[in-house]
Structure 1
Amino acid sequence: MLAAQRQALILDQVRSAGGVRVTELVESLDVSDMTVRRDLDALEGRGLLRKVHGGAVAPHRHSTEEPGFEANAARQEAEKRAIAAAAARLIEPDSAIGLSAGTTTCAVAHRLRDVPGLTVVTNCLRVADVFYSAPRPDQTVVLTGGFRTPSDALVGPLAVSALRSLHLDTLVLGVHGMDARAGLTTPNLMEGETDRALVEAARKLVVVADHTKWGTVGLCTIAPLERCDVLVTDAGLDDDARRRVSEQAGGLVVADAAEDGGADRAGGGPVPPSPRSG
């Protein structure tokens, strides 16, 4: 196979999955480790991908880029299902929870439909629809008002006003990006303000984000990484990122998509038994 053909196949995998491992490319392309790394060097030099430890990911998005819900839903589907399963196990029956907008939080909502006694507060039409499609008499769903964003979040003064008087046991927060310095970020200023109101309302913050979100920095910060009590991510998160999360966040849960939603705690020790004060 010619180098141009290999590199086109590599780009296809990166664009469809958001990232790829060197070991996977060696096996699928039937070439040496060194050949794969040379191809990655060439593609990175053209600005078509970004090399990370053990593989490559799609290049950084612009800080104001805001993909729509459907576009995001097609990315890392298996990882999001595994993350959702692991995050749902952190939610206790009869609790008041928040679910922010996003495709990963929507996947979590599907996992929570059978949890008894939940009061769910959300600023996302898609999340609310998950619960409305199979209503339970012992669950209450509160949908904030607000302006609708491309990611189907409801944001702005109405949403913030509705959230300021609430007290949530746990918030499950989806993010556009996460970074050791910039923290948890979004490309939408109004969504950032609304997400901050959600964070302030919650005693415990659970962030759900697949590995491709690491190193992506949106226009505004929702909260520093230190505010995160538990980060639930997938096995694609590299060792350096895991170390940084373990140093700053309260706990790290790594969900393995290959194990049908199984999850292991790693890097951050056990999940804190008592939530931080918001």
Structure 2
Amino acid sequence: MLAEARRVAIAEMVQRDRVLRVADLAQALDVSLMTVRRDIEALHDAGVVEKIHGGAKARGERSMYEPGFELKSTQAEAEKEAIARAAVELVQEGMAVGLSAGTTTWTLAKQLATKDRLTIVTNSVRVASVFYDSPSQNTVLLTGGERTPSDALVGPIATRALHQLHLDLLFMGVHGVDAEAGFTTPNLLEAEMDRALVAASRRVVVVADHSKWGILGVSSIASFEEVEEFITDDGMPTEAVSLLRERVGSLRLVTPQR
């Protein structure tokens, strides 16, 4: 395949999948890793894709752009299910568990709703509704606040609700994961709420699929070092895996069922 045709193919695949690893592109195109890296460099310089650690991501992600819940819930569904299955193993009866807003935590909530005798604290209307519709015996505390496009409740009312609470475990969804900025969100008030959840929790577990790598929201929620465990899928770029293993407490990679 000629270089021009190969680069067109790379651009189309990245646009479709949002984030792709060098290794995956090399396998799909049957070329060397070095060839793909050169192609990504050329596409990056031309403004077609954005080069990230170990791969490329689609351009056009603005630091304050926040897609709605319905759109996000249809993306990376297999990855989110696999992440949720791994995350639910950390939960024991009697725990006070925090769930931030997001489609991955919403997916996790559907599995947690089969358990009993948990205290669930969340600022997500969607997450709370999962438990309210379940016959299981759990206590659910939903914060107040203003509603965001991702169906999070944010603002001073929401953050004040957490000041007197102590959570055993927090599952936090994020908009983006950046090598320098850590875990980020495009919503300033949601970042404040998430930081309050982190402060109230003994153990913080981030749940996010590989497509979040290289995405930079306007506000940081937490550094890598503040997170005890990061559960993601095995589509995460190799270079990102190396960096994350060095900086988060524990990195767990899961394999989605296709």
Q: Normalising to structure 2: TM-score of the pair?
A: 0.88
Kindly state the Cα deviation for residue 115 of structure 1 after the two structures are TM-superposed: 1.8
Residue identity in the other structure for 2:124: C
Unaligned runs of 5+ in 1: 261-278
Residues 45 and 75 (structure 1), Cα distance of their counterparts in 2 relative to 1, 3 Å cut: farther
Q: How many residues align?
A: 257
Supply the distance in 2 between the matched residues of 1:54 and 1:245 (Cα, whole angstroms). 13
1:50-100 residue CA offsets vs partner (Å, 9 max, x unmatched)? 234554222372221111112222322221111111111111122110000
- SS for the counterpart of 2:162 is helix
Whether contact under 8 Å (2:53, 2:240) holds in the other structure is no
- The answer to whether structure 1 residue 85 and structure 2 residue 85 are counterparts is yes
Larger RCO of the pair (alpha carbons < 8 Å, separation 6+) = 2
Supply the distance in 1 between the matched residues of 2:234 and 2:112 (Cα, whole angstroms). 23
Bigger drift between 50-59 and 152-161 goes to: 50-59
Supply the distance in 2 between the matched residues of 1:12 and 1:118 (Cα, whole angstroms). 45
Whether contact under 8 Å (1:163, 1:197) holds in the other structure is yes
Unaligned runs of 5+ in 2: none
- 1:47-62 alignment to 2 at 5 Å? 47-52=47-52, 55-59=55-59, 61-62=61-62
Tell me what 2:126 maps to. 126
Supply the distance in 1 between the matched residues of 2:182 and 2:23 (Cα, whole angstroms). 30
The Cα RMSD (Å) is 2.4
Tell me what 1:100 maps to. 100
- SS for the counterpart of 2:116 is coil
Kindly state the Cα deviation for residue 46 of structure 1 after the two structures are TM-superposed: 2.6
Whether contact under 8 Å (1:14, 1:20) holds in the other structure is yes
Whether contact under 8 Å (2:57, 2:214) holds in the other structure is no
Tell me what 1:202 maps to. 201
Residue identity in the other structure for 1:219: V
- The answer to whether structure 1 residue 153 and structure 2 residue 152 are counterparts is yes
Tell me what 1:109 maps to. 109
Kindly state the Cα deviation for residue 207 of structure 1 after the two structures are TM-superposed: 0.6
Kindly state the Cα deviation for residue 186 of structure 1 after the two structures are TM-superposed: 1.3
Supply the distance in 2 between the matched residues of 1:54 and 1:242 (Cα, whole angstroms). 9
Residue identity in the other structure for 1:125: V
- Identity over the aligned pairs, expressed in percent? 51
Supply the distance in 2 between the matched residues of 1:204 and 1:86 (Cα, whole angstroms). 16
Kindly state the Cα deviation for residue 171 of structure 1 after the two structures are TM-superposed: 0.5
- SS for the counterpart of 2:161 is helix
Tell me what 1:173 maps to. 172
Supply the distance in 1 between the matched residues of 2:5 and 2:231 (Cα, whole angstroms). 36
Whether contact under 8 Å (1:16, 1:75) holds in the other structure is no
- SS for the counterpart of 1:128 is helix
